[in-house]
Structure 1
Amino acid sequence: MTKPDHVLFFGTCLIDLVLPSAGLAGMRLIEREGVRVRFPQDQTCCGQPAYNAGEREEARHVARHQLDVLSGEEPIVIPSASCAGMFKVHYPRLLADTPDADRARRLADRVVELCDFLDRVLAVRLTDRGPPVKVALHQSCSARREMKVAPAAARLLEQLSGVDIVEPDHAEECCGFGGTFAVKEPEISAAMASDKARSVAATGAPLLLSQECGCLTNLSGTAGHLKLGYETRHIAEFLWERTQHD
């Protein structure tokens, strides 16, 4: 993919409801590179909750709406690996053997996760303007295994001279959120989140970063409940704050 003139930005439900500042930071990072960002106002959920719950027809209904709202040829940048994976991997499966199969495949080809877009497509060069800080980096399951974009987040952070990046023990294990998994298996989910949150605390980092709002919401709540004393932030917001001019 070559550098485009403009992109569509898909904000995700959690960014809309919980972390809107992360979405704004992601759009600003793109626009700073000379790429115009359009945010379709009628976008809704990607359909993951219904899909993961086995409600395939409801998920198809949601997917078809996104196909309409996000129609076009420009890249679709998504600040969430799991939502990007829903578009790129699961829409073609969900809508296979339907009249929307071709549209689903074409949309999937346009999808790119935000960190991957900044690193691989825009090849951004970042100048760190913040004080020295240690951060723990949590890469979501979708970033690691479904979208395979985890290295992009690390490469972006490695450009920041004042940032010491640490990886918690058992970094490749799930945080326990897993969308509807946290509702279906609350005790298992809580135990997984507790293990993950404690492993982050053991790094001594005062800040946890991730490209996944679901993981951040889960680990932020767990860390607060366990009184572990670190903050959480979406990587887009952190990158924007660290690289702003005075």
Structure 2
Amino acid sequence: MTPPLLCVDNLVVSYGGRRPVRAVDACSLELHYGQILALVGESGSGKSTIARAVAGLVRPASGRIALAGTDLSEQARNDRRRIQMVFQDPDASLNPFHRIGTTLAEPFVVSGITDKAAIAAGVAKLLAMVRLDGELLGRRPRELSGGQKQRVAIARALAMAPDVLIADEALSALDVTTQLAISELLLELRDRLGLAILFISHDLLMVRRLADRVAIMRSGRILEQGDCAAVLDAPAHDYTRLLLAATPDMDRGGIDLMADIALLDVEGDQP
């Protein structure tokens, strides 16, 4: 079997001082080339903390994160560029004072490219990848729609030609029609570029649509994981069954996992 591109092994992330709280508790995941792995759970389950640890934004207390067999320690900063992240709110992640052209040129400048023609060509390629018109380059984020802003955020993440793209609730702030359009873009980029995507979401409809594999999280632990259809069609854990039961109509749209989450306390249950 082909070795995984991204391997998260027994990861622990703690927050706090003298009495730290484990936000992620001994979690292990594997993500292969061209695969979409969804992390699903309620707010505070630890899914975004795993994403931030993989991206190097938080430091694990213990465990190992490896990319193509290379341990992503502090000595492997260049390898971190191979992992890029798209956040939930593009208004928070895009500089409101920068024009879109400046935002998309910045990664090339930071990487040491000084030739203006090369930068312009790189920016044009990014726009084409996310299906945006060049006329937007002179605009600022406030002049774009929510979908356009998220496409800019995706384009900026692609500037470093990453192997892994992390989408941390990247669809949840968008309307349903725009969610579908951006989800189609993610699938297209996965197929065209061979991207591996770590997809953080609470929307089981979108997870079923996009993901090859899924991991269900609660209270910092992974309760079950596996092939997406197998887990969602025949869940092994009571908590997963609760999440599915909280979906009134999978054909109508996404779900709010917090709606009925207090109905069942399954902490400590085993799959």
Is the structural similarity TM-score above 0.5? no
Higher strand residue share: 2
Q: Structure 1 length normalisation: TM-score?
A: 0.27
* Larger Rg computed on CA atoms: 2
Q: Tell me: higher relative CO, structure 1 or 2? Use CA pairs within 8 A at least 6 residues apart.
A: 2
TM-score, normalised with respect to structure 2? 0.25
